[in-house]
Amino acid sequence: ETLQARDMLPTMAQAGWCLLFAICLGGITASHGFEYKGCYKDSRNRDLPKLAQSSSSMSVERCGRLCSSYRYFGVQFSKECWCGNSYGKHGKRPGRECNMACRGNSREKCGSHWRNNVYATRSTGSRCKRVRSTPSSLSSYKSKVGQCFEFRVTGRLRGNVWGSGIYTADSSLSKAAVHAGIVRNGQTKYIRVRVLRGRSSYRSTRRNGVKTRRYGRYRLSYKFIGSRSVPSKKPRSCPSGSRLSVTSRRTCRCARYLLDGSWAR
């Protein structure tokens, strides 16, 4: 029995190290719901073009919120947050080159000199549920925290918006989308939104012609995680000697010109 217990010690130790490794890895890849892409080189021709903020409070989560309207974000030089919709043009580097602790969270890594720790803003493996009827706000989504939804939204400048990057759930969805840069005023797109828990405070900023309001503690919030264009509805073309014949509100077919001078239905 003693021998068996002794023989089990290496296995238990290995399991412990594996568990510790998994926890550490999880802290990098999914601790905030952001998918870690790796350590990437930067230069004056920026890999991620938008500088969102340089702050002594920088962390992975903070940068992810600041870049919520972009596909990717990178933390660099312990305090810088960069956003963009593509990455990697200067090449990938070993993880050990992104070794500076984040100013706002020393347990996380925030790149290094001309090095970005790059993340995807959309959560790993997540899928968004399409919603046919678009609400004016997400006030009624309090039981949907953590879930992702896709709405068809036309950008508007009407209504009230509280927050920046992270918005209170009662903020106008169409106006907040303009503020976040997801859509332009009057433009229609499919937008993806993630429902979040409330925050202790929401800040005010002016972006894309929209000035938001600041607010204190609010129970529910949301952020934009992406968008896609609405497919255009171009009429299909017909072969020579035929024309489009509308058969219903949604479909059409090609009608043939007959020898007697009439059009076939």
User: In terms of residue numbers, what domain contains 46?
Assistant: 33-120
Residues 224, 168, single domain; the answer is yes
Same domain, 104 and 175: no
Same domain, 41 and 114: yes
Please, are residues 10 and 88 in contact by the beta-carbon 8 Å criterion?
Answer: no
Label residue 11 by pLDDT band (50, 70, 90): very low
Whether residue 183 sits in one domain with residue 155: yes
Q: What is the pLDDT of residues 226-245, one digit of tens each?
A: 888 888 765 555 555 555 55
Residues 115 and 170 in one domain: no
**How far is 13 from 262, CA to CA, in rounded Å?**
86
Number of H helices, E strands in the chain: 3, 16
CB 96 within 8 A of CB 115: no
Q: Is residue 4 part of a domain?
A: no
Tell me which residue has tokens 């070993």: 94
Three-point CA angle 66, 71, 77, nearest 5°? 55
Final residue before a domain boundary, out of 72, 95, 120: 120
Q: Is 116 left (phi over 0), alpha (psi -120 to 50) or beta?
A: beta
Give the DSSP per-residue string, 92-111.
Answer: EE-GGG--PBPSS-TTSB--
The answer as to whether 43 is a domain residue is yes
- Claim to verify: residue 137 and residue 204 sit in the same structural domain: yes
Residue at a domain's end among 66, 92, 120: 120
**Looking at the structure, do residues 148 and 208 belong to the same domain, yes or no?**
yes
| CATH code of the domain covering residue 168 | 2.170.130.20
Give phi and psi for 87, each to the nearest 5.
-155, 165
In a domain, 44, yes or no: yes
Q: What is the pLDDT of residue 71?
A: 85
Does some domain include residue 146? Answer: yes
Question: How many structural domains does the chain have?
Answer: 2
C-alpha 238/C-alpha 263 separation (Å) is 14
Picking from 146, 160, 126, the residue whose alpha carbon sits closest to that of residue 222 is: 146
Last residue of a domain, one of 120, 148, 183: 120
Whether residues 145 and 101 fall in one domain: no
Whether 114 maps to a domain, the answer reads: yes
What is the pTM for the complete model shown? Answer: 0.48
What residues form DSSP beta bridges with 130? 150
24-33, 156-165, 213-222: which range is least confident on average? 24-33
- The span from the CA of 165 to the CA of 225, in Å, is 10
For residues 116 and 140, membership in a common domain is answered with no
Asked whether residue 13 is domain-assigned, the answer is: no
Q: Tens digit of pLDDT for each residue in 42-89? A: 999 999 999 999 999 999 988 988 887 788 999 999 999 999 988 999
In a domain, 139, yes or no: yes
Report yes or no on 240 lying in a domain.
no
